[in-house]
């Protein structure tokens, strides 16, 4: 009976909205975010996004916010069965911050803690679309860890595409 209650308790507590995506964007730009922009997943971008995700992207465009060499992305990826919404800030081609905004899975929410997300700080993308630094996994949260890693790589790739195409004032 105790084991049943503990497993139900973990299921209930794993799911949650930890920060509203709009609030994340506001916070990233000290309350004054630039207008949202759209990155279209064109024929040159889409295959690389598919390679990073290990599946086809579910959208044809991605919204982002950018100012100078800094961009903010709100992206979703399936953990085991449900999407995990992640806010990602990139500054000068390096990850500045990753935050789990909405977690819908029944387990694996340990990825939301700074002890995990802080590992991504200052990481950038290699020529092979991998992170240039090691990120340790979490036992019991393998699929959530994999989803966050994919999204960090994807955001870095998208950031590199927008900074190549234009520099924001």
pTM, to two decimals:
0.89
pLDDT score at 9: 43
Low-confidence ranges of the chain (pLDDT < 50): 1-12, 167-169
pLDDT score at 165: 55
| Distance, CA of 134 to chain centre | 16
Domain total for the chain?
Answer: 1
Whether the Cβ atoms of residue 144 and residue 79 lie closer than 8 Å to each other: yes
pLDDT score at 163: 82
For residue 23, the enclosing domain spans 2-165
| Separation CA 145–CA 96 (nearest Å) | 18
Token pair for 96: 């500045």
Residue given tokens 């949260």 in the structure block: 141
Nearest CA-CA partner of 38 in 13, 81, 77, 73: 73
């Amino acid at each position: 009976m105790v084991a049943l209650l503990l497993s139900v308790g973990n299921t209930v507590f794993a799911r949650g909205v930890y920060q509203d995506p709009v609030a994340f964007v506001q916070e990233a730009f000290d309350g004054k975010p630039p207008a949202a922009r759209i990155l279209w997943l064109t024929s040159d971008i889409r295959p690389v996004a598919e390679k990073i995700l290990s599946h086809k992207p579910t959208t044809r465009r991605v919204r982002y916010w950018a100012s100078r060499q800094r961009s903010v992305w709100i992206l979703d990826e399936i953990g085991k069965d449900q999407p995990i919404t992640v806010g990602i800030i990139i500054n000068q081609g390096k990850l500045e911050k990753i935050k789990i905004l909405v977690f819908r899975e029944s387990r694996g929410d340990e990825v939301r803690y700074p002890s995990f997300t802080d590992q991504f700080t200052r990481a950038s993308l290699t020529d092979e679309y991998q992170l240039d630094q090691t990120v340790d996994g979490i036992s019991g949260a393998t699929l959530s860890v994999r989803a966050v890693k994919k999204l960090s790589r994807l955001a870095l790739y998208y950031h590199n595409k927008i900074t190549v195409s234009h520099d924001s004032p």
